Amino acid sequence: MRVCVFCGSSPGTRPGYRAAAEHVGQTFAERGIGLVYGGASAGTMGILADATLAAGGRVTGVIPRALVDREVAHSGLSDLRVVADLHERKATMASLADAFLVLPGGAGTLEELFEVFTWAQLGLHRKPIALLDVDGYYQPMLRFLDHMATEGFLRPEYREMLIVDTDVAGVLDRYANHEISREMWSSEHTE
């Protein structure tokens, strides 16, 4: 199984964000889960990749040529795929992954989350999407999603698509039990 992780190009201000990225990377490696991410060496993206690699895991990075040229690409990955632009980056990451995990991040992280969330609502994929709610980071957004559902702009069943947990082990257990993903867990992802 491979999980696409969306997270920040900044480390954030709380130590918990760094610790969560490290723990996710270690857990993926221990469980034999491949990491797919944005290919950068900065922020929680770099922390996550470094932790996965240090624990013996496999990491696939996908990065646009313009960011490689700025020398932010991680040079030590198992597999680095250089693509033309951000649109191709997201499509490639999604195609390589069996599930999505979203760590705390900024506008780019939210944009990636909402794109795959919208694709799921439209039936373009059946992959589970989870938020790792580190130190309550996503609580304000979750309240807003509940407000969207109350106001009739988000179907309640779509709101329920998002898995929310505070621990990566809990997320991975919920992936295995997720109605959409059962068939993915039982078969190996091939590229």
Q: Between 3.40.50.450, 1.10.357.10, 1.10.645.10, 3.40.50.300, what CATH number should domain 2-186 receive? A: 3.40.50.450
Q: Is the pTM of this model over 0.85?
A: yes
Which amino acid is residue 160, in one-letter code? E
CB contact at 8 A, 55 and 86: no
What is the C-alpha separation between 40 and 167, in angstroms, rounded? Answer: 24
CB contact at 8 A, 28 and 60: no
What is the C-alpha separation between 127 and 3, in angstroms, rounded? Answer: 10
- Binned average pLDDT, 10 residues per bin, the chain of 191 residues: 96 97 98 97 97 98 91 91 95 97 97 96 93 98 97 93 95 82 40 40
Q: What is the pLDDT of residues 68-123, one digit of tens each?
A: 878 789 999 999 999 999 999 999 999 999 999 999 999 999 999 999 999 999 98
pLDDT value, residue 70: 81
Which amino acid is residue 84, in one-letter code? A
Q: Give the torsion sign (CA, 182, 134, 23, 79).
A: positive
Domain boundaries, the chain: 2-186
